Amino acid sequence: MTGCLFCKVASGEIAATVVKRADGLLAFQDINPQAPTHLLVIPTVHIASLKDATDDTLLGRMLGFARDLAREVGIAERGYRIVVNTNADGGQTVFHLHLHLLGGRAMRWPPG
Ligand code: AMP
Ligand code: ZN
């Protein structure tokens, strides 16, 4: 979608440190990491938020992709957190669906 930050990352118009790409999905480093490992997983097609997602197969593939990615970057055994901030109360700031994959430190609960 024109003007969407993560559509521009997906197309290469905005540079990002890409760590994995497959089947219409892309993972790249978050520009403002909140953990030693902080990666974002996006579909290359524009979907504004989880609320707006209608393709449950795609959502399942995003989770599987994140699971594989966690193993590949070496955080799977110690553990990790996957976050999907959704709309205003969820704290979403970029309106292109993304999973946060956070690891490399112990996470706290409850989240802020
Ligand atoms: P959210 O608040 O869940 O919408 O998350 C948006 C995330 O995108 C934040 O963690 C930002 O640090 C991250 N972000 C914003 N711009 C960029 C960018 N150009 N490259 C990588 N990550 C970004
Ligand atoms: Zn987009």
Q: What is the 47 CA–ligand 2 centroid distance (Å)? A: 6
Provide the 3-class DSSP secondary structure of residue 45: coil
Q: Which residue among 30, 52, 83, 96 has the greatest number of ligand 1 atoms within 8 angstroms of its CB, and so is best to mutate? A: 30
Ligand 2 center to 73 CA (angstroms): 25
Query: What are 54-112's pLDDT values in tens digits?
Result: 999 999 999 999 999 999 999 999 999 999 999 999 999 999 999 999 999 999 999 98
Please give the Cα distance from 112 to 110 (Å, whole number).
6
52 and 4 Cβ atoms separated by less than 8 Å: no
Q: Are 79 and 37 in contact (CB under 8 A)?
A: no
Ligand 1 closest atom vs CA 83: 3
Element (H, E) at 55: none
What digits encode the pLDDT tens for the residues 17-61?
Answer: 999 999 999 999 999 999 999 999 999 999 999 999 999 999 999
How far from chain centre, in Å, is Cα 68?
13
98 counts as catalytic: yes
User: Residues 7-23: what's their mean pLDDT?
Assistant: 97
